[in-house]
Chain A
Amino acid sequence: MLAVTSVALSARGQAPAPEAASTMARVGPGAYRPLYPPSAAEAEVPVKAFLLDRLPVTNAAFLAFALAHPEWRRDRVPGVFADEGYLSHWASAADLGADVDQEQPVVRVSWFAAKTYCAARGARLPTEAEWELAASASRTRPDGRGDPAWREQILAWYSRPNPPRLPRVGTTPPNYWGVRDLQGVVWEWVLDFNSTMVNTDARRAGDRDRLTFCGGGAINATDKEDYPSFMRVAFRSSLRADYTTNNLGFRCAADDVRGDR
């Protein structure tokens, strides 16, 4: 448990700046092209430079958080903040157990839990625009989305069922920004996960019907061949903030204190 203790100390660190050099990468500035632009004028959303964790949050780091903030232990978390699946793969509320690797990305965490974890670190969840900007980079280019081979590689991961055992973090090569595992390991929460497609209740509330299923899903899309984006939009929009799933983790972001000139 020594390793856990040391991670716990760093997870409780106050400002992101000192650790940024090692654990966070500077991404951007750039422009994010939403799959469903809100309006013609917003076909590109400018994204300021920001800091993003190079790796997803691990089981070890999240355990340290839960021990330091016991209200987020699975046996104490209020039901409105996390569904029954919350951290249910761990052996107990305070122990990962033998079957869970400390260095695997943490999954079965709710949006509320992820958001609180980042806040405790003095950081925040990345916005959808920030996450997508970072994830659109291939190994060598800031925007690899026009590359069919790159797209095929991402799609291949989305097409496979979950492996029996998740890989450890850091197993995929770093992208252009030096960030790893954005594709090919787990889905990740973003701050505004539910803004791209409204859920069924909200859809009924408005005067405009917004469908991202069936025909409606394709009509307004900017790039009909960008299947990975379709899949991320569909996945995020199937979520509620208390949901947890076997393959949904997160990483944290922070404003770039140096600014983006």
Chain B
Amino acid sequence: MHSRQATLLVALLLATGCSEARKSSPAPATSAAAAEETVKAEPTHAPAVPPPTGRDRPAKVVVDLEVKEVVRELADGVKYTFWTFGGQVPGRFIRVRQGDTVELHLQNHPDNKMPHNIDLHAVTGPGGGAASTFTAPGHQTQFTFRALNSGLYVYHCATAPVGMHVANGMYGLIYVEPTQPLPPVDHEFYVMQGDFYTVGKYREKGLQPFDMQKAIEENATYVVFNGSEGSLIGDNALRAKVGEKIRIFVGNGGPNLISSFHLIGEIFDRVYGEAGTSFSENVQTTVVPPGGAAIVELTVQVPGTYILVDHALFRAFNKGALGMLKVDGPEQKEIYSGREIDSVYLGDKATATGAMQTAAENAAKGALTREDQIAAGRQLFLGTCSPCHQLEGQGVLGAFPPLAKSDFLMADKQRSIGIVLNGKTGPITVNGKELNSVMPPLSQLPDDDIANILTFVRNSWGNTGAAVTRDEVSAVRSSTPRPPGAAR
């Protein structure tokens, strides 16, 4: 029989957590137990939150939580084997009241391959329930705890290798309502961030295995809300109406990355930082650590789409940490006007405006030089092209392709004329990097302008190439179809 060196690490961590100042504890368990009613919890999938308990006294709450290992989409066309509490990531949201006696049943589905357990941060006791709920596939366990402290708590699997179980999605939230509940709001939502580590690159299609080495290096392939890249996008967006008050229960399962939770275009009226009992007002971004949570409240005053992000922005734009809150209702122009002015502003580059005129005059005389074209093209580029392709033609990583030193641009003159005229949608590879975005057709520009723009970009920022003539543009215009809606 082997014997093992012991450690009380988990217990020590919990003891430290419990030493923080918290709200009053309920009466001892013995006094109320006899009169307690028994209720069955109805935990919800994200982004739904169970309704308030509506109780003014403690009860015995029975919670059933089923662990399932499932293959689901992590991103469009990307499958992953998630280990879940309840069939989805994050795990089902559990709602109880401070002082409740919670009887938790953990069921490990017979089709699962792994043993699992649950450590709820709302539990006062060594392991948070982990030792009591260690469950083989096809079996179930049960333990009971008293919800002594109010607040929003993460729960997660704590079976070795713990990091892998959590990285596969084994986390969720339990909300212990305080005896004095928070004021009612119009909507409550459940949003939980997590980081994922796959062998394939971001958005590489197919069933992607867990990459242990990337996880150890904390080099996330995906950072997402509610278990997949599209979970809060488009038809899945959170919805509210102008004037409504919203409370979001925000959690972070990790396993590795701290969230800088931000809602673009809104200011949180209140944030219960780290989901503690006190709140801050007028917060722009709140930190949510792995294994931690926050409660944020806001009132939406202006209609439109608000974007949830981890404001560590490459996670938002390159790893999936984006969600949407769509707000319907009448415009509120006194709060937000919308765009009032949209005109070209050239700043100190305005001295060059004469270049277009010079090019036009010389072209009329049949004396147009390459230098004339480059000067005029620069002018047009600044007004028309630089918002996306940027002032130095460097593009925007992952969104707008670079023109500077661009192999794609320089490979085919005819093609580049066609793209300016007809736009371009779908994947392309520029300097070895794949992009997938949309360029609108610019067929409203005259042939002269397009010729000048292309002559400029083909002779700037490290590109060297032949000039593009008006006739060449004209030929492509007459030989290619415009997309629907584009100028002829």
Distance from B119 Cβ to chain A, minimum over Cβ atoms (Å): 6
Contact B9–A216 (Cβ < 8 Å): yes
In the complex, A225→B135 CA distance in Å? Answer: 24
Map CB proximity to A onto B7-18 as digits: 1 under 8 Å, 0 otherwise: 111110100000
A244 lies within 8 A of chain B by Cβ: yes
Bound-state CA distance A233–B81 (Å) is 21
A16–B199 CA distance with the chains assembled, in angstroms: 44
Instruction: Say if the beta carbon of A259 comes within 8 Å of chain B.
Output: no
0/1 string, B128-139, CB within 8 A of A gives 1? 001110111111
Give the chain A neighbours of B136 by CB distance below 8 A: 235, 238-240, 243, 245
**B216 located at the interface, meaning its Cβ lies under 8 Å from any Cβ of chain A in the complex:** yes
> Which of B106-114, B302-310, B401-409 is the contact stretch?
B106-114
Q: Contact: A247 with B7, CB < 8 Å?
A: no
Q: Which of B8, B119, B136 has the most CB of A within 10 A?
A: B136
| Interface of chain B, main secondary structure | loop
Chain A: which residue is nearest B115 at the CB level? A238
Chain B residue numbers with a CB within 8 Å of A234 are 114-115, 159-161
Instruction: Determine the chain A residues whose CB is within 8 A of the CB of B113 once the complex forms.
Output: 158, 160-162, 187, 247
- Number of chain B residues whose Cβ lies closer than 8 Å to a Cβ of chain A: 48
* Chain A neighbourhood of B138, CB < 8 A: 85, 243-246
Minimum CB–CB distance for B454 against chain A, Å = 48
CB distance from A184 to the nearest CB of B (A): 12
Chain B residues, Cβ within 8 Å of A197 = 4
The segment out of B187-195, B206-214, B344-352, B390-398 that lies at the interface is: B206-214
Candidates B2, B199, B212; contact of A38 at CB < 8 Å: B2
- Write 20 A-B pairs (CB below 8 A) sorted by A numbering: A85-B110, A155-B210, A156-B209, A159-B81, A159-B210, A195-B1, A200-B134, A210-B3, A214-B130, A215-B10, A217-B162, A220-B7, A225-B216, A230-B161, A235-B114, A238-B159, A243-B139, A245-B110, A246-B110, A246-B137
Are A211 and B2 in contact, CB atoms less than 8 angstroms apart? no
Among A148, A214, A243, contact of B213 (Cβ-Cβ < 8 Å): A148
Query: A90 in the interface, Cβ–Cβ < 8 Å?
Result: no
B373 interface residue, CB < 8 Å from A? no
Pick from A203, A214, A215, A244 the residue with the most CB of B within 10 Å: A214
Q: Which 4 A-B pairs have the closest CB atoms?
A: A238-B115, A208-B6, A217-B160, A215-B9
The CA-CA distance from A235 to B135 in the complex, in Å, is 9
For residue A227, CB closer than 8 A to chain B, the reply is yes
Instruction: Tell me whether A260 is interfacial, beta carbon within 8 Å.
Output: no
Q: Which residue of chain B has the shortest Cβ distance to A217 in the bound complex? A: B160
Select the residue from A85, A203, A235 with max chain B CB neighbours within 10 A: A235
B147 at the interface (CB under 8 A from A): no
**Any chain B CB within 8 A of the CB of A58?**
no
Chain A residues with Cβ below 8 Å from B209 are 152, 155-156, 159
Inter-subunit contact A200/B131 (CB<8 Å): yes
Chain A 163-206, CB within 8 Å of chain B: the 1/0 string? 00000000000000000000000010000100111111001001
A199 (CB) vs chain B CBs: closest residue: B134
For B136, the closest partner residue in chain A by CB is A238
Specify which chain A residues have a CB less than 8 angstroms from the CB of B69 in the assembled complex.
161
For residue B459, CB closer than 8 A to chain A, the reply is no
Q: Which residues of B contact A231 (CB under 8 A)?
A: 114, 160-161
Given contacts A159-B81, A162-B111, contact A210 B162 (CB under 8 A): no
* Chain B CB within 10 A, most for which of A160, A195, A215: A215
